[in-house]
A and B are shown apart, each in its own frame.
Chain A
Amino acid sequence: AQSVTQLGSHVSVSEGALVLLRCNYSSSVPPYLFWYVQYPNQGLQLLLKYTTGATLVKGINGFEAEFKKSETSFHLTKPSAHMSDAAEYFCAVSESGGFKTIFGAGTRLFVKA
């Protein structure tokens, strides 16, 4: 069975600092992996996804994530945080289709001036 664990329900960084949001997954087959972002009172928006091929995936707003099979991880990074990055971030895994997409509990990112 699939599962997703996001380490840290809250992460706080200073503006300009590195952002690192951690995600570990379990899956019985090669997974599809996603990061979604949710701004206050909005729906979830796809940041980036890994399906096949290159393990370093680049997304919108300067974010990227690396699929590490040996570590069953898909951590999200951004070199320099901006105030507009303050939001909640969800890691998700799917084995086959939207019905099977499992979400992590989310990590709220705070960015300090």
Chain B
Amino acid sequence: ETGVTQTPRHLVMGMTNKKSLKCEQHLGHNAMYWYKQSAKKPLELMFVYNFKEQTENNSVPSRFSPECPNSSHLFLHLHTLQPEDSALYLCASSQEVTGDTGELFFGEGSRLTVL
């Protein structure tokens, strides 16, 4: 099993659909993250979970709803998205949220297209 696995790799959805992105890490880490990567924009940190508890929500619209049932799994539930939400969504994990080097381990991303 690779370190961080994301599914699906590609997703096309209409603005009225509900879908979910899934992330699983096999590294024994305690922290998991969702990042958004749009064309010509810096990486945007969306959500941070530490030991299953959400510790950061960077003013993300409510149409994005994260869920972290345990330290190994992270979901991003999508509902009534807009075309500008089309992007590559990256999941990452790290040993800790604070106190370690900050090295992040990324999944391969889920490419989302909203029609």
Contacts and interface: CB of A to CB of B under 8 A. Distances in A.
Interface in A73-113: 90, 92, 94-101, 103-106
Contacts of A90: 43
Interface string B99-115: 11111111111010000
Interface in A11-29: none
Interface residues of A, number: 25
A43 B101 contact: no
Interface residues on B, range: 20 to 34
Contacts, number: 82
B21 interface: no
A36 B104 CA distance: 10
Interface of A: 32, 34, 36, 41-46, 49, 51, 90, 92, 94-101, 103-106
